[in-house]
Structure 1
Amino acid sequence: MTRPLDPMMPPRAPLDLAPQRFDRAGAQDHALPRGRRRDLAWRIGAFGPAVAITLSLIVGLVRWFDAGGFTWGEGLATLLIGFTFIWVSLSVTGVVLAVIRLWLGRRREARGRGPAQRIALVVPIYNETPSDVMGNVAAMRRELECGPRRDTYAFFILSDTQSPEIAAEEWRAVQHLRGEADRRIDVHYRRRNANTDRKVGNINGWIAEYGAAWDAMIVLDADSLMTGAGIRRLADALARDPDAGLIQSFPVLISAETLFGRMQQFATSVYGWLAAEGLSLWSQKEGNYWGHNAIIRIRAFAQSAQLPHLTGRRGQSELILSHDFVEAGMLRRAGWAVRFLPQAGGSFEETPASLVDYVLRDRRWCRGNLQHLRLLAARGFHPITRFHLLQGAFAYLLSPAWFALLVLWSAFLPMSAGETSYFSPANPFYPVWPSVSRIDGVWFLAFIYTMLLLPKIVAAALLAASPGVIRLYGGIGRFALTTLFEIALAVLYAPILMVQQSIAVLAACLGRPVRWDGQARSGHHYAWGTLLRFHAAEVLLGLGMIAGMMTGALSLWLAPVALSLALAPALSRLSSLRVSGLRWRPLRLDTPLSLREPRVQVRARAERARLRAALDAPASPPMAAE
């Protein structure tokens, strides 16, 4: 080992990262045991019914359309419905599998724990609020120090911050943490002068310089928060599974105060856990990585997961922006298991507070996820890895597909033949509403909406059937009203998100640059002028749809979509409204974690306030970047 670069880092322990390629797999570093028949059954149970349901829907649509002659528009509509509905079906079957798993019960882990591990908790940051980041680190450190520790831990703050003012505050905040008495877990800090390759380069650079001294790393985002028990459970899971290269926890959203943030927080609390359980069942050892709140075996990562660059449109080198899915696939390609641990608990993160902040983050994620389409033919990837990559891309491609289907259905597939008339001469004061040409159409639309809402309905029903759990939400009446309110909000904001994601896909396809700034985490109102410019496309589209319905060119069943789009600026403004203090409780969208905050969250808030006060003191010169 050589001398450290500065007093805030330990001695260097270099670890080579093996270069990787997508056109050549190379030899496997590790050999996994053969899969069990039970694992294959779960996978067939997820994909088989999803395919069967989608094919049944397509056959029914073909028969319905064929009754009056099958046109090109109807054929395209059928293709788009099948294209989009397979993903809806898979989410439904995943929820059903999770329910079956809960009914059958979970087997206890039979394998013994391995030897003690040295685990680095790495926190890559970029232009974040120093007191918030270091406050979270301080809270997690206290959590770990309060409980039993079989393993050795240390925190590494890996800064890519480019603002000298923020960097100075980072340095002072870390000094405060390092200067505290009676602390048994070290906190280290390093800042790069140039943020080459962003987060990927930041973590890989740390592995190359210090990785040999550590067995595993838990990757945390700037807003990540984990309890001591949650960290120990991840470490224990890795120690019990020598085949695991990566184990991903299921982060639950916390700390939301605004309408949009609380809507996401409630949805994750009520529905997300069941979807995560289903995902874990069918992915098995070919799981995924979400970029944070996961534990990774460092030597396995160094030997197999250094990301090569892609070749851009003009032949330039192009960084893979959404690196996490690909790194998981490369670990699995090298023979390491990638697993989910959906019910470990104690894993938290924050969410964008407003619709605008959510969309801005989505644009970055969209660009990265669409890059995955270029990796579907990479050599050596497991079929489930390729499916994860495809699913990540389709999370955004579904929006333009739904939008195209909406336009096609409303413009080229009128719900009644001939000119639409809502009043007859015999009774001019009583409107006659248009109807679907055959009753089958009503049932198909009802079926689609039912399938879209079924995962939420099933998850909410499971919680409602558990009196002990439902009391944590404030009782059955409050839970039911809050659930209905969240579903209504989701329906209201869905058309806006559909248009914004379609814009993001178009921008990615055109190669337009996307800004990758620090995430805005605190809720604030955007000016009306900003909102009108940001949502101009939705407003114009919504007003056009309303005009089309007034002239009879479009069907009235599009009215909810048109109104949401036309009112997008107002709904966007409403999304940043602070609802946590409202008097009528269902409007607060409370969850057990907002009604009874976790101890680590309370600690983090206190530590943030303490550090914020300390940083208001006169500053000393910052440590130079590397």
Structure 2
Amino acid sequence: MTEDTPRPRRHRWKPVAVLRRTTLIVLVIAQTLAGLYGMQSVLPYHGGNLLEKGILFLFAVLFAWISVGFWTALLGFWLRRRGGDPWSLVRRYDAATVAATPLARTAVVMPIYNEPVDRTLAGLRATIQSLRETGELDHFDFYLLSDSRDAEQWLEERTGWYRLCEEQGLQGRLFYRHRPVNLNFKSGNVADFLRRWGRDYEYMVVLDADSVMGGRTLTRMVRHMELAPQIGILQTSPSLINAHSAFARFQQFANRVYGPLFTAGLAGIQLGEAAYWGHNAIIRCKPFMEHCGLRHLSGFGLFRGPIMSHDFVEAAYMGRAGYEVWMEPELDESYEESPPTLVDELTRDRRWAKGNLQHAWLFLFAPKLRFAHRMAFLNGILSYLSSPIWLAFLVLTSIEATRLTLWPIDYFPEQQNSMFPAWPEWHPHWAVGLILSTFFLLFLPKFLAILDVLLSGKRRQYGGAWRLFFSVCLELLVSMLLAPIRMLTHSRYVLESLFNVSLHWGGQNRTDETGWREALVSHAPGTLLAAGWAGLALWLDPFFFFWSLPVALPLILAAPTSVILSRMALGEALRRHRFLLTPEEQRLSPQVDAIADPRPLNPGALSAFDAAVVDPRLNRMHRALARRRRCLDPEAREEWVQRCLKHGPDGLNRRQLNALARDGEVLARLHKAAWVAAPDSYWGERIGLVKRRDYG
């Protein structure tokens, strides 16, 4: 940095952050107290017994949770209407100063685990090509870090990597590593990279398998990090793209319409003490390696062992070390994909729920963490804990209705200690007012998002004003259908986590629809529970029955809802009629278009293992990267080789196939034997496919 370069306003954002956070806390407390007063007035005994005290406590937690989101969105709307947050990181320097800043050596790392190879490498290819267009590709290296366990999968990944290197001319710049042992999941994969190569790079950009980033954004991020050496992590706000199913399109639309308000408000509250989301972010390698190592939790049950949700913890540790963490919504060209179905989203949430609940131990006992990062832990915990709290609230209100209907009224409760009777009072108009005020908090931010789009002059990017309004109403209906389903499922996940039920870490589905059998099995418990609850409510009181329908009916219809929303045809129909449109679908975006229909890197009829055996070039490549497994019993290995020569890979189980695929000597033997095999044998037929491909 030269003497003429303006210095960053280091630490001056902190008083602004304190003022904003204090204002938020005061507003949330005041709003919650007002809501609590209304709820107390609605209850028959006005909180005069233990049951109603429990109802009031749960209501206060839920109302405060909703209130935080409401005021965060309002702050985001105000910041966007004034042209952006003047205290944001990207506004510290003008464009000329940023563009003149030299780049530093940066690694782009993509941890993968059983992901669709063509789609994953199409995203990486799009990022590479976008960087090439900036003329700054030479400052970046790329790493595919695989934890895949099946030989067929990681051989296909390695073959795709090899061909992508040739296609892009990145030999010695694009690397592939397959970890023999996937210790500590994704965070362990990144830690393995840092131990081996982290000291070679100033920065590391972490991408997920479904991530894509533009070259202009990547170079801006590096330059901002160079200008502000006190920043440890710079997080973007990824937009959802490439949605085909109806479910994914609803998620994508909500992300693009409502997301800017909430992320702008969240960034305005957090400022330099933001959270890290685990991907689409740039990290300063040296302090990350020194301060962000994840030790195993030392508690009991859930709070013992490896940390499953690592990202918030790494941001908190970076802040504890004295570095800033920023989230910048104005950094565009940052994309990811949504799970295509409700079942897939809920499956992913099972792991996230356990990981977020683990943060309670750090929230309570981790020393010297910044207040904002403890609040980020609390926010993540409540994102799942709010579901069982809502469920408990419904249970207690059901008990209250049952008690008033079936049991005699207690005019002299023990808690009152009074000579005068306690008369139960009903105020239906107050209950309606409380419900309307709750809807106001939930839905006003969404209509402010419409106003923000209209005032920004971007209505055509969403199909026009009327289609935008109709799409929002349609999304509101779907979100109300999905909320009780998520509530019940998340409640189950929280209970599983508290009892420390072990989880299987699997790759995510990116394309498949949900079948009727899968949906019925997945949602049957909730459907039966909701039907029983609605029946009880109808038997007790018609008014209580109608009160229960907004929760019970979506649970009863969960299976058909899940199946219908997973359909690609419905999603494409909505797109054809220009509903749920997003800007990326309206304008040319090379990064988005590149993954919409990914070009296959491994064409042909051969499986990845077959190609590794019979294709001369691929066989040489796989042998060069293979290891001789000295611990393998020679007799067992020989038996597996003979079985493979006779029956092909179908004659081996997963463990045996993995062992042979990792052995360079075995691959060489199989290659030689395949090329002299009889034409009517398994390997002879594979050689015939290769010859027809090569010689037509």
* 2:314 aligned residue: 327
Q: Distance in 2 between matches of 1:237 and 1:151?
A: 18
Unaligned runs of 5+ in 2: 1-8, 408-424, 613-617, 628-661, 663-696
Q: Distance in 2 between matches of 1:68 and 1:156?
A: 62
Shift of 1:515: 1.4
* 1:215 aligned residue: 202
Specify the code of the residue in structure 2 equivalent to 1:330: Y
Q: What pairs with 1:165-176 in structure 2 (closer than 5 Å)? A: 165-176=152-163
* 2:434 aligned residue: 444
Is 1:119–1:151's contact at 8 Å kept on the other side of the alignment? no
Q: Distance in 2 between matches of 1:316 and 1:556?
A: 41
Is 1:415–1:437's contact at 8 Å kept on the other side of the alignment? no
Shift of 1:34: 5.8
2:300 pairs with 1:300: no
Describe the shift of the 1:185–1:260 C-alpha distance in structure 2 as closer, same or farther (beyond 3 A): farther
Shift of 1:521: 1.1
Counterpart among 455, 478, 490 of residue 445 in structure 2: 455
* 1:110 aligned residue: 93
Describe the shift of the 1:64–1:302 C-alpha distance in structure 2 as closer, same or farther (beyond 3 A): same
Specify the code of the residue in structure 1 equivalent to 2:594: R
2:376 pairs with 1:388: yes
Q: Distance in 2 between matches of 1:550 and 1:55?
A: 32
Specify the code of the residue in structure 2 equivalent to 1:397: L
Q: What pairs with 1:516-527 in structure 2 (closer than 5 Å)? A: 516-526=505-515
Question: How many equivalent pairs are there?
Answer: 578
2:45 pairs with 1:57: no
Note the alpha carbon deviations across 1:402-437, whole angstroms, 9 max, x for none: 111122223314798789xxxxxxxxxxxxxxx963
Q: What pairs with 1:125-164 in structure 2 (closer than 5 Å)? A: 125-149=112-136, 152-164=139-151
Q: What pairs with 1:467-616 in structure 2 (closer than 5 Å)? A: 468-526=457-515, 528-553=516-541, 554-578=544-568, 579-582=570-573, 588-596=579-587, 598-605=589-596, 608-613=598-603
What secondary structure, in the 3-state scheme, does the structure 2 residue paired with 1:581 have? helix
2:397 pairs with 1:409: yes
Specify the code of the residue in structure 2 equivalent to 1:590: L
Q: CA RMSD in A?
A: 2.6
Shift of 1:569: 1.1
Describe the shift of the 1:333–1:68 C-alpha distance in structure 2 as closer, same or farther (beyond 3 A): closer
Note the alpha carbon deviations across 1:130-169, whole angstroms, 9 max, x for none: 2221121111111100114287001111111111111111
* Structure with higher helix content: 2
Q: Distance in 1 between matches of 2:427 and 2:123?
A: 59
Shift of 1:311: 2.8
Specify the code of the residue in structure 1 equivalent to 2:490: Q
Q: Distance in 2 between matches of 1:407 and 1:441?
A: 18
Counterpart among 166, 177, 190 of residue 177 in structure 2: 190
Shift of 1:284: 1.2
Q: Which stretch shifts more, 510-519 or 612-621?
A: 612-621
Specify the code of the residue in structure 1 equivalent to 2:328: L
Shift of 1:590: 2.0
Q: What pairs with 1:11-410 in structure 2 (closer than 5 Å)? A: 33=11, 35-65=13-43, 70-106=48-84, 107=86, 108-110=91-93, 112-113=97-98, 115-149=102-136, 152-180=139-167, 182=169, 186-311=173-298, 313=300, 318-376=305-363, 377-410=365-398
* 1:7 aligned residue: none
Shift of 1:316: 10
Percent of matched pairs sharing the same residue: 32
Is 1:258–1:580's contact at 8 Å kept on the other side of the alignment? yes
Q: Which stretch shifts more, 229-238 or 154-163?
A: 229-238
Shift of 1:514: 1.4
Unaligned runs of 5+ in 1: 1-30, 420-434
Is 1:262–1:588's contact at 8 Å kept on the other side of the alignment? no
Q: Distance in 1 between matches of 2:81 and 2:510?
A: 38
Q: Distance in 1 between matches of 2:303 and 2:49?
A: 44
Specify the code of the residue in structure 2 equivalent to 1:448: T
Is 2:242–2:595's contact at 8 Å kept on the other side of the alignment? no
Describe the shift of the 1:238–1:151 C-alpha distance in structure 2 as closer, same or farther (beyond 3 A): farther
Is 2:468–2:579's contact at 8 Å kept on the other side of the alignment? no
Q: Distance in 2 between matches of 1:315 and 1:561?
A: 30
Note the alpha carbon deviations across 1:559-607, whole angstroms, 9 max, x for none: 132111111111111121112321685685222223435211212345x
Specify the code of the residue in structure 1 equivalent to 2:92: E
Shift of 1:610: 3.5
Q: Which stretch shifts more, 223-232 or 174-183?
A: 174-183
Q: Distance in 1 between matches of 2:290 and 2:430?
A: 57
TM-score between the two structures when normalised by the length of structure 2: 0.79
Note the alpha carbon deviations across 1:221-248, whole angstroms, 9 max, x for none: 0110111122222222212211100000
Specify the code of the residue in structure 1 equivalent to 2:156: E
* 2:645 aligned residue: none
Is 2:81–2:452's contact at 8 Å kept on the other side of the alignment? no
Shift of 1:104: 3.1
Is 2:360–2:381's contact at 8 Å kept on the other side of the alignment? yes
Is 1:73–1:413's contact at 8 Å kept on the other side of the alignment? no
Describe the shift of the 1:181–1:584 C-alpha distance in structure 2 as closer, same or farther (beyond 3 A): closer
Q: Which stretch shifts more, 474-483 or 610-619?
A: 610-619
Specify the code of the residue in structure 1 equivalent to 2:158: W
Shift of 1:184: 9.2
Relative contact order (alpha carbons < 8 A, sep ≥ 6): 1 or 2 greater?
1
Describe the shift of the 1:595–1:316 C-alpha distance in structure 2 as closer, same or farther (beyond 3 A): closer
Q: Which has the larger radius of gyration?
A: 2
What secondary structure, in the 3-state scheme, does the structure 2 residue paired with 1:609 have? coil
Q: Distance in 1 between matches of 2:304 and 2:499?
A: 17
Q: Which stretch shifts more, 340-349 or 536-545?
A: 536-545
Shift of 1:482: 0.8
Is 1:45–1:93's contact at 8 Å kept on the other side of the alignment? no
Describe the shift of the 1:230–1:316 C-alpha distance in structure 2 as closer, same or farther (beyond 3 A): closer
Note the alpha carbon deviations across 1:97-148, whole angstroms, 9 max, x for none: 1222223334432385554200100001111122221121111111100114
Is 2:461–2:581's contact at 8 Å kept on the other side of the alignment? no
Describe the shift of the 1:254–1:438 C-alpha distance in structure 2 as closer, same or farther (beyond 3 A): same
